[in-house]
């Protein structure tokens, strides 16, 4: 029996715990870390069960190659040689940008760095991206434009210090439980004010001082309305605006169009609710905004994010403990995957590929020439390009676009049109059904590396058991591919050596090393070996100098309900499952809690339509129809349906719309039009 | 009674490894205290309650209960060497006594007793709690006891197995007055927490706690299940199978009554389908149902659920709110 300290593979909170390994090398449990600054001896239900899927019999344990339409076992040599030859052949025939690489927010920083290095240095394409595109690409761009840095401004501990917390589009106690618990404790123990702006009656709404249930997708109007009240009542922080920001006049001009009456009408709420929220938020000494997918996953996701940033600057709530704009990152390492440059337009540390000096720096560091200069395809535009026949080959590491991307039939068309697909994963998925080569990867419990949590904390991941079967760590596989492709610059003896390289080319990770992050990690920016890390961003000065007010006008969502499709359908996660369900649905206790695909429907709508709790119904949109179980609940608002996207047998993303934010290319998962009928 | 320095204690424990699988409180990588083998970390005997339930040495989070292959059904075998577990507090010893009863009465749980039979229980008490707290002396609830005088450990042996082990310990003889003084300190420990849960138990048995109270608590519950998973008297488990080409393994793992699936029927109906009912059950079971069934409270006040609960609604905290609200009625 041994106990190995590592970082949780589920959400972005970044709890560390011990994996308990029996003498046979099987994971048999989890124990929380009592000393860890975030976990503090606690865990959520997914954390307690994070060992369970690892030894599941479904694990991929052997490379596979499609021969005559059938997947057959192959050696690593055969599989990797085929990958390299097919990618080279495709590029020779159709150009460098005819291939793309999907990196993964589930894998380590080191592996994300290597995936983007493989794409850029070896295959000379910027077609590299990962699922941050689907969750927080609007944050990365929206906060970079306003503040100069696209990450959570404050730390998790700040949740305990705020006097007022505005939670919008985040079901915090379910999706970031140990952040949600801090909000609950601050409210119940210290009397902090809590404003929940969310269509659903989530747990935090039960404890809120004000719960605003606006129409999905009217965030900009809502936030503009709040700012209108703050300005008209003179509640803004004049000193902060004067000394720390620019473009205030432009903000005032646009906000003037959103008096509470007009904003309330757009949002489907009362003007009083807007006035009350504005006064409560502005009155607090330290007010913070917490948001997540409810803000980002819209065709106006970037506008939503910028509006949150505007509100924080207007009230001077930036740069101090207990304040800030705090996007909660959904995956264990989605922050790190972005930091590492697994994005179409940046190298690690958000250094732009369009900048010639930056390219020169990386060419020198990697001993290559002619790094591609134009931003590449994103996850969403790569799928579009594949469906149009423009993209020919795709290397997918630890992603499951068949389940996670909008409009599954569209993704299926893309998968069918692609000439060559590599899937590197730990379990078979609906995506791997389309693979020409499957590469079995080691799980988080079988490798060393680092994850970066939502509060920008770089933390260790440690090997507790040997990789199962013939599986190999993602970083070793990527290095092997690079070498077989004729590149000698990706040889490492350990994950630690990769991080040392990251530190040399990535200023915000400049002081990060395995030695320094041994127990509690380091929060970036950490510029050099003596830098203590940065718990709160933008203290005294924004990353871009002055904070840029970036007002936006309200734009309606792409597909609104009509007579034919009278409901709004919103999608997301439930507490017990994670994303495409590959891990949680193979965890006994978690899968037992939610065994069936379901849709939340309001008590009023259910009554009107004669639908009872746990009845099977069909939910249909213009993209397709899915059979799911009805959860009749007061969590849902009349006219709005909510469906989690974890279930292969009832995929929410068969229904969602492939409408993208024009800048971030994030899909509008939170609003589309739907109808329902009984399946019984 | 002998007095052992920390060094003598380590030598003593090492010598016990010849006949026992010794488990002792150690500091893990980041200083978290947990049970482990002697050489897996620095000894951490002092510090009070070990955060995880110490009874998990006999009832672990997940374990195989049988294996079936094409030829036979195989049951887990008792280990060759019995366990010797150091680190029980007096409250933990009470918990163990209860789950021994639970797992042996009516139906005997062989998987549990495979590990439990022959095991030596060593309590730790005296001046070695967290932040200088005095840990209650357990006495004859255990085989052996290490009673800290603030620096060294007095070795008290109560059972034959304990006495046989104690003979091998190397240490000076303790002065009776030291033992008497420590016992006096132990006897004079405040009983506030016990009075609190007894008062709460009375309120529950007399049905004086209204339904709306439980909703105010369950609104703050994030269903992390930690309260169950760290509770030494929680005994519920779920069963699942893992099939490979060559065999089927049946496992059991800790369950939690705070989960909807815990009591959901095949039809989907759930008699405990609401959070407030589940929260009520968590407290009611230990303080009322078990009093009726077993004649005793089954919260022994170890404090683990209060320490681990992310939102501050462990059993003591809930009892405090309950007694404050309804106690005088």
Query: If we measure between CA atoms, which residue out of B80, B138, B77, B72 comes closest to residue B111?
Result: B77
Residue B178 and residue B217 share a domain: no
Look at residue A659 in the predicted model and tell me its pLDDT: 96
Which residues of chain B lie closer than 8 angstroms to A2, CB-CB?
Answer: 40
Averaged pLDDT, A270-297: 98
d(CA A495, CA A112): 12
CA distances from A295 to A199, A557, A666 (A): 12, 12, 11
pLDDT < 70 regions, chain B: 329
Number of domains in chain B: 2
Residue B185 and residue B212 share a domain: no
Share of chain A above pLDDT 70, in %: 100
Look at residue A328 in the predicted model and tell me its pLDDT: 97
Span A105-129, pLDDT tens digits: 999 999 999 999 999 999 999 999 9
Q: Tokens for A535, please give them.
A: 């718990």
Averaged pLDDT, A202-216: 97
d(CA B273, CA B262): 9
Residue B155 three-state SS: strand
Residue B161 and residue B133 share a domain: yes
Look at residue B80 in the predicted model and tell me its pLDDT: 87
Which stretches does DSSP call E strand in B101-152?
Answer: 120-126, 144-148
Residue B116 and residue B42 share a domain: yes
CA angle B247, B251, B252 (to 5 degrees): 170
Look at residue B244 in the predicted model and tell me its pLDDT: 87
CA angle B212, B218, B219 (to 5 degrees): 90
Helix A271-283 vs helix A260-267: angle between axes, to the nearest 10 degrees?
A: 110
Look at residue B313 in the predicted model and tell me its pLDDT: 98
Query: If we measure between CA atoms, which residue out of A126, A178, A592 comes closest to residue A347?
Result: A126
Q: Is A43 within 8 Å of B226 when comparing Cβ atoms?
A: yes
Where among B168, B189, B210 does a domain terminate? B189
Look at residue B77 in the predicted model and tell me its pLDDT: 86
Q: Tokens for A443, please give them.
A: 């799980």
Residue B167 and residue B296 share a domain: no
**Residue B9: what are its φ and ψ, rounded to 5°?**
-65, -45
Tracing tokens 């026992």 back to the chain, one arrives at: B20
Look at residue A1 in the predicted model and tell me its pLDDT: 84
Pairing of strands A437-440, A449-452: unpaired
Which residues of chain A lie closer than 8 angstroms to B222, CB-CB?
Answer: 44, 173-174, 177, 180-181, 184, 203
DSSP string, B183-226: HHHHHTS--HHHHHHHHHHHHHHTT-S-HHHHHHHHTT-----H
Q: Give yes or no for a contact between A277 and A212, defined as CB atoms under 8 angstroms apart.
A: yes
Pairing of strands B153-157, B2-4: antiparallel
> How many whole angstroms from its chain centre is CA A477?
24
Residue B63 and residue B27 share a domain: yes
Look at residue A559 in the predicted model and tell me its pLDDT: 98
Residue B314 and residue B203 share a domain: yes
Residue B76 and residue B174 share a domain: yes
Predicted ipTM of the assembly: 0.97
Span A370-418, pLDDT tens digits: 999 999 999 999 999 999 999 999 999 999 999 999 999 999 999 999 9
**Please, what are the domains in chain A?**
2-48 (2.20.25.90), 64-134+332-448+462-507 (3.40.50.740), 137-327 (3.40.228.10), 567-678 (2.40.40.20)
Q: A-contacting residues of B 176-235, CB under 8 Å? A: 219-220, 222-226, 229
- Looking at the partner chain, which of B28, B224, B310 has a beta carbon nearest the beta carbon of A3? B28
Q: Is A588 within 8 Å of B253 when comparing Cβ atoms?
A: yes
Domain hosting residue B129, numbered range: 2-189
On whether any CB of chain A is under 8 Å from the CB of B278, the answer is no
pLDDT range class, residue A24, cuts 50, 70, 90: confident
Task: Give the DSSP H or E segment for A85.
Answer: helix A76-94
CA distances from A454 to A10, A105, A185, A457, A510 (A): 12, 12, 20, 7, 19
Span B137-162, pLDDT tens digits: 999 999 999 999 999 999 999 999 99
d(CA B18, CA B191): 40
Residue B200 and residue B172 share a domain: no
On whether any CB of chain A is under 8 Å from the CB of B76, the answer is no
Q: Give yes or no for a contact between A294 and A671, defined as CB atoms under 8 angstroms apart.
A: no
Q: Tokens for A284, please give them.
A: 């607090």
Look at residue B163 in the predicted model and tell me its pLDDT: 96
Query: If we measure between CA atoms, which residue out of A204, A175, A201 comes closest to residue A187?
Result: A204
Q: B-contacting residues of A 155-194, CB under 8 Å? A: 173-174, 177-178, 180-182, 184-185, 188-189
Where among B141, B161, B189 does a domain terminate? B189
Residue B172 and residue B217 share a domain: no
Which stretches does DSSP call E strand in A492-595?
Answer: 522-523, 547-548, 567-572
**Minimal-distance CA residue of chain A relative to B227:** A42
pLDDT at A442 over 90: yes
d(CA A209, CA B272): 29
Q: How many CB atoms lie within 10 A of CB A481?
A: 25
Which residues of chain B lie closer than 8 angstroms to A5, CB-CB?
Answer: 28-30, 32
Residue B213 and residue B163 share a domain: no
Look at residue A634 in the predicted model and tell me its pLDDT: 96
Span A474-527, pLDDT tens digits: 999 999 999 999 999 999 999 999 999 999 999 999 999 999 999 889 999 999
Where among B173, B189, B205 does a domain terminate? B189
Look at residue A282 in the predicted model and tell me its pLDDT: 98
Interface residue of B63, B223, B318 to substitute, partner A, most A CBs within 10 Å: B223
Residue B239 and residue B165 share a domain: no
């Amino acid at each position: 029996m041994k106990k190995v300290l590592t970082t949780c593979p589920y959400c972005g909170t970044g709890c560390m715990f011990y994996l308990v390994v029996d003498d046979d090398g099987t994971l048999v449990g989890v124990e929380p870390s009592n000393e860890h600054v975030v976990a503090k001896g606690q865990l959520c239900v997914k954390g307690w069960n994070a060992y369970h899927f690892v030894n599941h019999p479904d694990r991929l344990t052997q490379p596979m190659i499609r021969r005559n339409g059938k997947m057959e076992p192959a050696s690593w040599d055969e599989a990797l040689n085929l990958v390299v030859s097919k990618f080279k052949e495709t590029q020779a025939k159709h150009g460098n940008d005819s291939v793309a690489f999907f990196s993964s927010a589930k894998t380590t920083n080191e592996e994300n760095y290597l995936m983007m290095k493989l794409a850029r240095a070896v295959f000379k394409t910027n077609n590299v991206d990962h699922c941050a595109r689907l969750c927080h690409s609007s944050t990365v761009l929206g906060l970079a434009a306003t503040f100069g840095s696209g990450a959570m401004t404050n730390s998790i501990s700040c949740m305990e210090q705020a006097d007022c917390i505005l939670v919008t589009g985040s079901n915090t106690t379910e999706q970031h439980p140990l952040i949600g618990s801090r909000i609950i404790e601050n409210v119940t123990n210290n009397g902090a004010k809590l404003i929940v702006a969310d269509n659903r009656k989530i747990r935090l709404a039960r404890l809120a001082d004000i719960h605003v249930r606006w129409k999905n997708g009217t965030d900009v109007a809502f936030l503009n309305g709040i700012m209108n009240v703050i300005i008209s009542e003179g509640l803004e922080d004049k000193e902060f605006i004067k000394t720390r920001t620019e473009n205030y006049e432009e903000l005032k001009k646009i906000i003037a169009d959103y008096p509470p009456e007009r904003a309330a009408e757009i949002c489907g709420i009362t003007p009083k609710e807007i006035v009350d929220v504005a006064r409560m938020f502005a009155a607090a000494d330290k007010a913070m905004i917490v948001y997540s997918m409810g803000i980002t996953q819209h065709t106006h996701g970037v506008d939503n994010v910028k509006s949150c940033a505007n509100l924080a600057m207007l009230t001077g709530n930036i740069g101090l403990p207990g304040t800030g704009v705090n996007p909660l990152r959904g995956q264990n390492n989605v922050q790190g995957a972005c930091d590492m440059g697994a994005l179409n337009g940046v190298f690690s540390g958000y250094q732009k590929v369009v900048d010639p000096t930056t390219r020169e720096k990386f060419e020198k560091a990697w001993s290559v020439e002619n790094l591609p200069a134009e931003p590449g395809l994103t996850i969403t535009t790569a799928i579009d390009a594949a469906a149009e026949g423009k993209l020919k080959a795709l290397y997918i590491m630890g992603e499951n676009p068949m389940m996670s991307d909008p409009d599954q039939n569209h993704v299926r068309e893309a998968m069918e049109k692609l000439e060559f697909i590599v899937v590197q994963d730990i379990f078979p998925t609906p995506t791997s059904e389309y693979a020409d080569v499957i590469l079995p990867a080691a799980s988080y419990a079988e490798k060393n590396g680092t994850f970066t949590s939502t509060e920008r904390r770089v933390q260790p991941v440690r090997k507790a058991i040997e990789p199962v079967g013939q599986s190999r760590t993602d970083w070793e596989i990527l290095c092997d591919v690079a070498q077989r492709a004729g590149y000698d610059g990706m040889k490492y003896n350990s994950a630690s050596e990769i991080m040392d390289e990251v530190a040399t080319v990535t200023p915000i990770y400049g002081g990060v090393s395995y030695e320094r992050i041994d127990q509690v990690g380091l929060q970036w920016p950490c510029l050099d070996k003596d830098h203590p890390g940065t718990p709160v961003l933008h203290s005294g000065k924004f990353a871009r100098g002055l904070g840029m007010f970036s007002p936006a006008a309200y734009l309606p969502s792409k597909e609104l309900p009509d007579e034919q499709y009278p409901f709004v359908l919103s999608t997301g996660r439930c507490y017990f499952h994670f994303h495409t369900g590959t891990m949680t649905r193979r965890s006994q206790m978690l899968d037992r809690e939610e065994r069936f695909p379901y849709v939340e429907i309001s008590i009023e709508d259910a009554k009107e339509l004669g639908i009872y709790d746990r009845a099977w119904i069909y939910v249909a949109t213009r993209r397709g129809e899915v059979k799911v179980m009805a959860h009749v609940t007061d969590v849902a608002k009349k006219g709005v349906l909510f469906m989690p996207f974890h279930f292969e047998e009832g995929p929410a993303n068969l229904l969602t719309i492939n409408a993208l934010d024009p800048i971030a290319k994030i899909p509008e998962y939170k609003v589309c039009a739907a109808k329902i009928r009984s399946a019984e | 009674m002998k007095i052992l320095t920390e060094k003598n204690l380590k030598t003593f424990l090492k010598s016990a490894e010849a006949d026992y699988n010794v488990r002792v409180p150690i500091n893990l990588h980041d200083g978290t205290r947990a049970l482990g083998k002697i050489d897996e970390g620095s000894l951490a005997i002092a510090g009070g309650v070990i955060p995880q339930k110490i009874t998990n040495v006999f009832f672990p989070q997940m374990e195989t209960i049988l294996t079936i292959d094409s030829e036979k059904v195989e049951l887990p075998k008792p280990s060759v060497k019995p366990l010797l577990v150091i680190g029980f507090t007096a409250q933990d010893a009470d918990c163990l006594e209860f789950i021994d009863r639970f797992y042996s009465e009516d139906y005997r749980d062989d998987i549990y007793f495979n590990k439990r039979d022959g095991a030596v229980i060593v309590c730790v008490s005296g001046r070695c709690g967290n932040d200088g707290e005095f840990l209650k002396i357990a006495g004859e609830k255990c085989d052996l006891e290490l009673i800290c005088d603030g620096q060294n450990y007095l070795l008290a042996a109560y059972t034959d197995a304990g006495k046989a082990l104690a003979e091998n310990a190397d240490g000076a003889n303790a002065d009776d007055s030291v033992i008497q003084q420590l016992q006096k300190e132990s006897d004079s420990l405040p009983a506030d927490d016990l009075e609190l849960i007894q008062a709460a138990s009375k309120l529950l048995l007399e049905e004086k706690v209204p339904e709306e109270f439980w909703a105010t608590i369950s609104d703050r519950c994030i269903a992390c299940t930690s309260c169950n998973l760290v509770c030494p008297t929680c005994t519920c488990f779920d069963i699942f199978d893992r099939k490979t080409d060559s065999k089927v393994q049946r496992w059991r793992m800790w369950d939690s009554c705070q989960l909807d699936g815990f009591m959901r029927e095949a039809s989907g109906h759930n008699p405990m389908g609401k959070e407030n009912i589940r929260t009520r059950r968590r407290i009611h079971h230990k303080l009322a149902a078990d009093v009726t069934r077993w004649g005793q409270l089954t919260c022994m006040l170890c404090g683990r659920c209060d320490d681990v609960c992310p939102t501050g609604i462990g059993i003591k905290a809930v009892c405090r709110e309950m007694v404050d609200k309804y106690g005088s009625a």
